[in-house]
Structures are given as structure tokens and as C-alpha cells.
Structure 1
Amino acid sequence: MTGYRKYVALIVVLFAALVLLDYFRPKPVDWSQSYARKEKMPYGTYALYELLPSMFKGVEIVPVREPIYNQLQNAAMAGNYVFINKRFEADSLDINRLLDFVGSGNQVFIAAEQFTPYLSDTLHFKTDIQQSTHPDSTALIFTSQPQQNTFIYPPNNNTFYIKVKKQDGHVALGRNKAGQLNFMKVPFGRGYFYINTVPLAFTNYELISLKQSDYAATALSHLPVQPLYWDEYQKEGRLDDQSILRVIMRYESLKWAYYLALAAIVLFLLFKTKRTQRVIPVLEKPRNTTLEFVQVIGNLYFNNGNPGNIADKNIAYFMEYLRLHYHVSTSTWDEELRERIVAKSGADATLVAEVFDLMQSIRQSKAISDQTLLLLNIKLEDFYRQTSLRPTANL
């Protein structure tokens, strides 16, 4: 028992050391493109979201964790709706509600490299990848500003550009040095869509590490100072959809079943650390297999098709029974033996006479039939039933 506890303690210590080592070791940089407002990784948008109150002074900044259709169910919602993602995803219902939102005099700002066809087909544009990745050709400028400052990013960060399929009031707001459009304003109804294909320019890495925060500030300055709705749904989903146990925690019965299962596992581990006694096997009582043995032997003789042999065994057993229980000599089957059997056993005299006459006939015959064997068995059974003592097995 002591040795067993030593092994358990050693495993616990090693596991704790592994946890501490993993906790204190330097964390590798996560370069995944999350665009989430709470992420401080290079491609999160924590820095930009913290700067929004200074860009839109005196108005409300609202993070949105609902689909576009659900969020815009409120007809009183007005202002700027901002999306910054690698790919702008929305179904036809979302896009129709978004078009109604812009058509009623609001603004939607979308920075993404690719767009859902429901929106791009409606606004008559598509995005493509620039073949040349030379820094000079991928540098960004604002054509809408009198002083055209140049913003230089890593070439692979801004290789997408816009192709306008049909001019319908599209206004160019920004291009790269190669002259390809990457930022535009599209009128729709009484409002505007702002389409940008450089979402990485709005991330922490570009704003802090490359010190290029002016690009994001300039791009968002095209929006009027109104309440701003910052989309987080396309990055993180609904607010209550983050936990892998969300379905269990949503229902009271499942939650308590989960807690009960955890408690049972803990109790099981605690009690299993103690020495468990070896299971004591259940010993069955000795069985008297004499009857089964006799039945097997009887079936063997019967299946061999020799009823005479079986009859001889029955007669021999009957004689032994008489000698054992009534203490008579069975060497001579005379009238005196029959009278003594009747007197000692209490059996019917006629039955005793029939039994002895039938046994005498069988002894004198060379072969007997199955019917004769059956008759002998019936007579012997009648004799045993009439006597006070009955054998434990029948042949």
C-alpha cells in the first residue's frame, strides 16, 4: 500500500511540474487572423477598438454579437455598421436587411478581402489578387485626401483590389501605387457602403508594430460621427455560443447531471487509490450427479436398440432393491418369495404376481420388444409407488 501511494504522489508531482512548465514558458506568437476586438495578438483589433471613442467623440460604440438580420430587426437602429474580417459572410436575408438599413440613410463600412456574392453582385463589384507583390506597387494612398500620404505594408497584407463591373455612382477613395482600387464609396438609397479590401491595415500589428494607425483613422473618418455598431458576430459568433459545454449549461437538468458525473468520477478516483481486496469466487454446492449419470447410461443403452439389455438392468436393480430394503434372498423366484415381498412391502399381491410373471417371461425370452420393456417399467413404477420407500433413480 505504501509503495502504491509513492507512485501516485510521483505522478501528481510530475503532472504539476508539467503544468507549471507549460504555464511559465514563453508563449509563441499567434499570427492567426482573428480581427476580434478583445484579442491583443498581431491580427486582432484591440488597439483600433480602443481608439474608436477618440475618433467618434460623444457617440455610443456598440459591439454586436448577433447576426445582421437579428440586429437590424430594430427599426430604430441608425448610425454606422462596421465589419472588419478576412471574408465578409452573409446570406440573402442578412444582405436584404443590410440594404434596407443603408437605403434608409445609414452607413456600412466593410473591410474584407472577399465578399459574399449577395452583396458584391448587388453593388456591381468583385475582388481579385494583385499579381505583383513589390512594396512600391502595393503601397496604399487615399485619393480622397488633398495630401496623398503613402502607407507601406508587407506586400502579402494588401494584395486584394476591387474591380467595378458596372459604374453606378461608385466613388474611389483609395488605391495602391499600381493604381488598382482598394477603397470605395457606393451610394445605395439615402446611405452609403464603404468597401475596403485591406482588413489587415486595421489590426494591432499595423497600428502598433508598423506605426501606421493613420490609415485606419483616415479610412474610418469618412464615416459621419454617429453611433457606431462594431460587428463581432462574424468573428466570434453569439455571446452564449463560446463554451463547448453551452448546451449542457443551458438546461438545469443537464447541468446537474454533469456536476453529478464529475463528483462521481472524483469519488471513484479517491476510493480506487485504496487497496482493493481480491474478489472472492462464489463456490457452488457439490451436486449429486448420480441421476444424470444414470440417465446418460440409460439413453446409451436405449439408443443402441437392445431393450433386452435394459430390461435385465431393470430386473437386476429391482432384485437389489428387494434385498437392500426387505432383506430377502432373491436367488429363487418361487411363491414363498412373492408372499414375503407382499407382506414386507405392503404392495398389492396381484401387482407383485404380475411383476414376477413378467420378469420370468423376459428371462426365458431371447429377445423382447419395446412394448414389453415399457410394460415392465410401468409395473415396476407401480410397485415403487405402492411401497413406502422409493428409489432415487429409474433405469
Structure 2
Amino acid sequence: MRGSHWFIICIVSFLVLMFAIECRLPKKFVWTPTFSHYDKQPFGCAVFDSLLSASLPMRYSVSGKTFYQLEQEDTVSRRAILVVNNHLALTDVDVNALLKGAERGNKIMLVSNSFTGNLRDTLGFESSYSYFNPIVLRKYAASLLSKDSLHWVGDSTVYPRRIFRFYPQLCSSYFWQDSLSVKVLAEKSISSDEFRYDFGVKFDSLQVDTLCNVPVAMSCSWGKGEIILVSTPLLFTNYGVLDGKNAAYIFRLLSQMGEFPIIRTEGYLEEAAQVQMSPFRYFISQRPLRWALYLTMIAILLFMTFTARRRQRVIPVIHEPENKSMEFTELIGTLYFQKKDHADLVHKKYIYFAEELRREIQVDVEDVADDERSFDRIAQKTGMSAEEVGKFIRAVRPVIYGGQTITAEQMKQFIDKMNEIIDHI
């Protein structure tokens, strides 16, 4: 067997071995929240959406439209809209469309760590902000520290009161409101010092080292509909629905939507989450398309393997480059002959003539103030008289600088004289 065959076998065996090792390696989790419909990592929403689609057939869907687009799409039927994001940035147009939809009977659930000021001012609430750090979460979970408690305080006739326990990093944000029309669904206990730090000096009346209950989920009526605010977006992810008994907390919140069809919109996700929606990722997610992609890659690999042997290439015929200088010269000469611009041709020749003198004998004939020395220098180098040289230079200058018109015969005399001087240097 030839050496090239052994090389190909080794490469193929190495690739097969690496593929087998890669398949057996444990999958690495990415803890960055994306809330994307296509992300199967802990803080994506692929499992969350699939579970709700199975639990609510024909009543749950995912869309990429904004509130304005959804409102323009359907202004008659009533439905529930769910938005899940870490930072919910709504424009005035979005807020107006949201309120308009709620006013005519829609139920809208906004799940986020932070909300824009125009929405807070309209609904009359404040929210604390918390930055999520995956490293801190992993360290906290590894330390086996106690979890925070979320108390369900909604309508006890529907669901009994219950305590749900989550890691503090997943439920650190909360609300404050002073409106009696707001209905609290879930709350948690925090220290008065933390409350004072988050909301400023206007709450200094609270006693030191006391506990106070703050909402983490609440709803307010708006027109014929309802707006539900939730401050724990990381619970509405794959991790949240797979977190054992705590998944009941999410379904209690979603039950506030009633019997309306639920639309979860991704129109406000960051660009990083939209990358998950690439066509290539869709190919991988579908079994027939995935196998088609694998077979294509195997076919390309086989093609490269069997066509890798060296082949004799066709030796190209190299022709000797043609000399186009004479043809170019004739073309330029024809153009000047047709234009009858003899002075311009003398001007171009004079530029070359002056440059040749500067380079060969260091004489600048364009410097009028130094004419006598220049004429003497040219006369010494060419054997001509200084008077003859000076007479020629002074005769050609009006043509060069004054724009004097000359005949073809005069042009030939000027050019011949310049050639004569250059030839005698």
C-alpha cells in the first residue's frame, strides 16, 4: 500500500475518533439568558415553549412582533400577550399600543427585571434593578446556602397560599406600589435597609433591621383588560419549568391569563437571542434536514479524499509579450496631428528636455534669473556657443509660457533643436 493511502486512512481514523470523543463529552451549559425560542440552554425558552405548546394546544404561540404590530394585526379579538426579557425597553408607541390593547380586553403579562420610565409612570409603580451574574449563581448553588422564599398571596379560592423557594439570584428584583387598585399575586420579604437603599431617602420612615413584604408579581386592571407585572424573568425559562415543584409557581402566574390564547412575543429580545434563529440552526433542529447536512459533509469529505492524488496539469502556452510601444506612439502622434496642437507637443517635449538637463548637468532652464550661468553650462557640455543656446531657449519660451501658436514646421525645428542639445550632452 502506498504512503498516500496510509496518510488518508490515518486522517479518516483520527476524524472518526475525535467525533466519537466529542459525542461522549458532557455538554457544556451556557448560563447567559437569551429567552430565545430556539435556545435549549438553561436560560433559553425552547423547553418552556414546547411544554406550554403541549399543555395549551392551539392556545400558545411564539411571535417576533412588537405590541404595535400585534395591535395593528388584530383589533377585534381578545387575547393574552406574554413578554419575557431581562430589560424591557418600550417606546412611547409600544406603551400606547399596550395600553390600547389592555383597554379593549387583552391580558398582558410583562416579565422583566427592569421597566422603562414611561410604563412605570403610567401604571404608578417602581421596580428595583438587579444584575444577574451566572458565576455568583453557580457558587451560591455549590455552597448549599438557603434559598429565598416567594409567597403566593393571590386569590385563595383558586389556589391555596404556598411558599416557593428559589435561589436569590433568580428573584432579587421586586416592585413597590402605592395604588389600591393593584392586586398582589406573589411577594417576598426583604430588610428595610435593602428597601431604603433601592428606593432612596423618601422611605426613611421605615425602622432599621425590620422586614417588609414587597411584591414580585402583581396585576392592575386597565379598561376591560388587565396588565400583569412580574419581576422574575429567569423563572420563565427552561430552568424554571424544569425546577421540580417550583414550576407550579409559573403556571399559577400563567393561569391569570384566563382562557385567552397566549402569544409570547420575542420582539423585544436583544440581538444575541436573535442569532439563535439562524437558518443553519433550524437545519440542525430538524432530523431529516440534519441528516441531509451530515450526508453532504460526508460526500464532500469523500470527494476531497479521492481527488487528493496528484494529477498532471495542462502546461499552458506562454506567448512572448508583444511590443506595443510603437503602436502607442503612432496613436498619440495621430491624435496630435488631428488636433493640430503643435504648441502643446512642444510643451511636453520641453518638460522632458528641462528634466534631462537637470538630471545630467544640473542646469535649470526654467529659472530665468540664472539664464547666463545655465547657457554657459550647456555650451560647455555640448560644444555649442552660449549665444546659440540662449537664442533657442528664449525663442521657445513664448510657446511654452505665453501660449504662442506655431506651425508644424516651427514645431519640428524646436523639437529637433532640443534633441540636438540632449544628444551632445
* CA displacement at 1:159 relative to structure 2: 0.7
1:72 is paired with a residue of what secondary structure?
Answer: helix
Q: Percent identity?
A: 19
Q: What is the identity, as a one-letter code, of the residue corresponding to 2:121?
A: D
Q: What letter corresponds to residue 183 of structure 2 in structure 1?
A: V
Question: Is residue 2:387 matched to residue 1:370?
Answer: yes
The Cα shift of 1:70 comes to 1.3
2:154 aligns with one of 132, 141, 144: 144
Whether the aligned pair in 2 keeps the contact of 1:236 and 1:242 (CA below 8 Å) is no
Aligned to 1:154: 167
Q: Which residue does the alignment assign to 2:239? A: 205
Given the two structures, how large is their TM-score scaled by the length of structure 1? Answer: 0.57
2:256 aligned with 1:222, yes or no?
yes
| Worse-matched range after superposition: 43-52 or 183-192 | 43-52
Change (3 A) 1:71 1:308: closer
Distance apart, 1:117 and its partner CA: 1.6
Please give the residue correspondences for 1:104-115 in structure 2 after superposition, counting only pairs within 5 Å: 104-115=104-115
Does the 8 Å CA contact 1:302/1:310 hold for their aligned counterparts? Answer: no
Deviation of 1:197 after TM superposition, in Å, equals 0.8
Q: Kindly report the root-mean-square deviation, in angstroms, between the aligned alpha carbons of the 2 structures.
A: 5.0
Of Structure 1 and Structure 2, the greater helix share is in 2
1:181 matched residue in structure 2:
215
Asked if 2 retains the 8 angstrom alpha-carbon contact of 1:307 and 1:370, the reply is no
Q: Which 5+ residue runs of structure 1 have no aligned equivalent?
A: 246-269, 286-291, 312-367, 376-391
Which letter maps to 1:232?
E
Render the CA deviation track for 1:43-94: whole Å, top value 9, x for unaligned. Answer: 122333233256546x532211112211210313421001122122221101
Deviations 1:137-187 (A, max 9, x none): 8311210143221111111111111011x4151111111144221111111
User: Partner amino acid for 1:44?
Assistant: G
Distance in 2, Cα, partners of 1:83 & 1:185: 15
The answer for the alignment partner of 1:84 in structure 2 is: 84
> Take 2:274 and 2:70, find their aligned partners in 1: how far apart are those partners?
13
Q: Give the TM-score, by structure 2 length.
A: 0.53
Q: 2:137 matched to 1:125?
A: no
What SS does structure 2 have at the residue aligned with 1:100? helix
In 2, Cα distance between equivalents of 1:171 and 1:137 = 25
Map 1:1-395 onto structure 2 (within 5 A): 20=19, 24=23, 25-53=25-53, 56=56, 59-73=58-72, 74-128=74-128, 138-146=148-156, 147-164=160-177, 166-178=178-190, 179-235=213-269, 243=278, 303-304=376-377, 310=383, 370-371=387-388
AA matched with 1:219: L
Q: Deviations over 1:10-50 (max 9, x none)?
A: 99879968984895344311111122233221112233323
Q: Residues of 1 paired with 2:376 and 2:26: CA distance? A: 86
Runs of 5+ in structure 2 lacking a partner?
131-139, 191-212, 281-307, 324-352, 362-373, 393-418
Shift in alpha-carbon separation, 1:189–1:277, aligned structure 2, 3 A: same
Structure whose CA Rg is larger: 1
Note if contact 2:375-2:390 (Cα within 8 Å) is conserved in structure 1: no
Deviation, 1:239, is: 8.3
